[in-house]
Amino acid sequence: MALATFVLLAFAILRSSRSSQRIETARQAVIEERDRFFDVSIDMLATATADGYFVRLNPAWTAALGYELDELMSRPFVEFVHPDDLEATNVEVVRQIDEGKSVLNFQNRYRHRDGSYRWLEWASSPSADGALIYAAARDITDRKLEEERLQAPAVALARRRAEAQDRIASTIETRAFGPVYQPIVDLSTGATVGYEALTRFTDGCPPDEMFATALECGLGIKLETVTLAAALDGARRLPPRTWLSLNVSPPLLADVETLGATLGLRARALVLEITEHETIEAYGPLREAVLRLGPYVRLAVDDAGAGVANFHHLVELRPDFVKIDVSLVRGVDTDLSRQAVVAGILHFASAAHCQVIAEGIETEAELATVTELGVTLGQGYLLGRPAPAETWSHAENQVHLPRAAGPTLRVERRAAVHGVTRRESDRAG
C-alpha cells in the first residue's frame, strides 16, 4: 500500500514537473515573441519608471532620434523634451502615476541628436501599482510640418490682422490724425459754398487704406466716429454760411443714435456723403436715418458714374447732391463719351431736383467743359487743395472764374494753398 502511494506521488510529481516545463517553455516562447515584436516594431515602444527614467526602449528610438538607447536611458526623459512642452508633459506623467489614467494622442517634441526637435504622438498607460508607464510613440514630424504649411496662409493672415488691429487701435487712442478741408465752389460765381472734410493720418497711410483696414478689423465705426468728431471740431474755424460735407459709411448712417451723438449740435448745415467701403444691403433704413437727423442734414452720393451700384444709389437714396466721379471728370474736355455720361447725370439730377458737384477738377479745360455742360458746383485741386481750417479762415472766400470757356481759361484763388502738382485721389472719413 505504501509502495503504491509512493509510486502515485512520484508520478504526480513527474507529471507536474513536465507540465511546469511545458508552461515555462511556452512562457519563454511568448517572451521571445514579445521581444521580437518589441525590437522590430516601427513604433517607438518604451517602459518608464515613475521617477522619470526609461528602463526599456526599442531600436525605433535610435532611428527616430539618433541616440543610442543607453544614452536615452541614462538621463531623465524630460531632459529631451522641448522647453515649451515640459509643463504639459509633466502634467500627463503625474496624471498617469497618481490617478492611473491612460493617455491617448498626446503630442510633444523630443530633441534629436543633431539639435533639432521631432514631434512625437503618444499612447501610454500605467501599471496597476503605478510604478511603471508603458508607452508607444510615433514620429509625426512630417505630418506636423505639412499641417503648418497648409495653415501658414491663415496664420499669416491672422497675424497681419492682429498687427493691423493694434495699429488702428493705437491710431484711435493717440489721435494720430487730423482733418483738412477742400472747398466746394459755385462755378457760376466763384463763391465757396461748402467744404468737404478729409482725414490725414500722421503715419502717411492713405485714408482709403486706413478705413478699409479698420473695417476688416472690426474698428470701422470707431475710427469713423473719432475722425468725424475731429472734423466737426476743426470746422468751427471755417468761414460762416458754408456747409460741411462729411464722408459716412452706410453702417454708421444707419446707426442714428451713434451718428447723432457724434454730430452733436449743428453749428452749420451738414451734407453726409455715402462712402463705398461697404455694400448697401437695404436703402430704407438709410433714408429714414437722414430724416431722423433733421432738416439741416442733407445727403450726397459720391462717385456717381463709377459703376452700376452708384446709379442704383442715386435712384434709391434720392440724394440732395450727386458728386460726379473723378474718373469722369479726368480728361472730360477731350472725351465725348465722358461728356455724354456727365450730361446724363445732369439730366437725372434735373428730374430728381438735386445738385451736381464735379469732383477732381484739375485743369482749366476740365473746368470749362463741365461748366459748359451745366455742372453748377465743382471741387478739385484747381479750385483749392485740401488744407487745415485755418487756411480757409484767413482766405478770401472767392474763386475768380473767367467768363469765357476754353483751354486758355485762367483760374486763380486768393488763398494760401493753390495750384496743381498732382492728381487728386483723396478719400475721407
Do 405 and 300 lie in one domain? The reply is yes
Do 314 and 397 lie in one domain? The reply is yes
Do 261 and 135 lie in one domain? The reply is no
- DSSP H stretches of helix in 128-189: 141-174
- Determine the 3-state secondary structure of 162 from DSSP: helix
Do 315 and 184 lie in one domain? The reply is yes
How does pLDDT run across 131-169, given as a tens digit for each residue? 999 999 999 999 999 999 999 999 998 898 899 999 999
pLDDT over threshold 50, residue 210? yes
Do 217 and 91 lie in one domain? The reply is no
Q: Which CATH number covers residue 197?
A: 3.20.20.450
| Average pLDDT of the residues in 53-57 | 95
Angle between helices 308-317 and 284-292 in degrees, nearest 10: 50
How does pLDDT run across 257-312, given as a tens digit for each residue? 999 999 987 778 999 998 665 677 788 888 888 889 888 899 998 877 565 456 67
- The whole-angstrom separation of Cα 9 and Cα 4 is 9
Assigned domain for 153 exists: no
Do 293 and 396 lie in one domain? The reply is yes
Assigned domain for 31 exists: no
Assigned domain for 426 exists: no
Assigned domain for 420 exists: no
| Average pLDDT of the residues in 122-126 | 94
Which pLDDT score, from 0 to 100, does residue 38 have? 75
Do 323 and 254 lie in one domain? The reply is yes
Q: Give the predicted TM-score (pTM) of the model.
A: 0.67
Q: Which domain holds residue 86?
A: 39-139
Mean pLDDT of the chain: 85
Looking at the structure of the chain, the number of domains it has is 2
Instruction: Read off the C-alpha cell for 10.
Output: 512520484
pLDDT over threshold 60, residue 404? no
Do 263 and 389 lie in one domain? The reply is yes
pLDDT over threshold 50, residue 117? yes
pLDDT over threshold 60, residue 87? yes
Assigned domain for 158 exists: no
CB-based contact 39:59 (threshold 8 Å): yes
pLDDT over threshold 70, residue 402? no
| Average pLDDT of the residues in 56-69 | 95
Which pLDDT score, from 0 to 100, does residue 276 have? 60
Which pLDDT score, from 0 to 100, does residue 427 have? 41
Domain boundary pick from 139, 163, 197: 139
- The whole-angstrom separation of Cα 88 and Cα 107 is 9
pLDDT over threshold 50, residue 97? yes
Do 87 and 214 lie in one domain? The reply is no
Do 244 and 321 lie in one domain? The reply is yes
Q: Which CATH number covers residue 45?
A: 3.30.450.20
Which pLDDT score, from 0 to 100, does residue 403 have? 54
Do 293 and 208 lie in one domain? The reply is yes
Do 194 and 108 lie in one domain? The reply is no
Which pLDDT score, from 0 to 100, does residue 306 have? 61
- The whole-angstrom separation of Cα 287 and Cα 313 is 11
pLDDT over threshold 90, residue 3? no
Assigned domain for 168 exists: no
Residues in Cβ contact with 234 at an 8 Å cutoff, skipping those fewer than 6 apart: 178, 179, 181, 197, 388, 389
Assigned domain for 360 exists: yes
Assigned domain for 79 exists: yes
The candidate with the shortest Cα–Cα distance to 179, out of 234, 110, 121, is 234
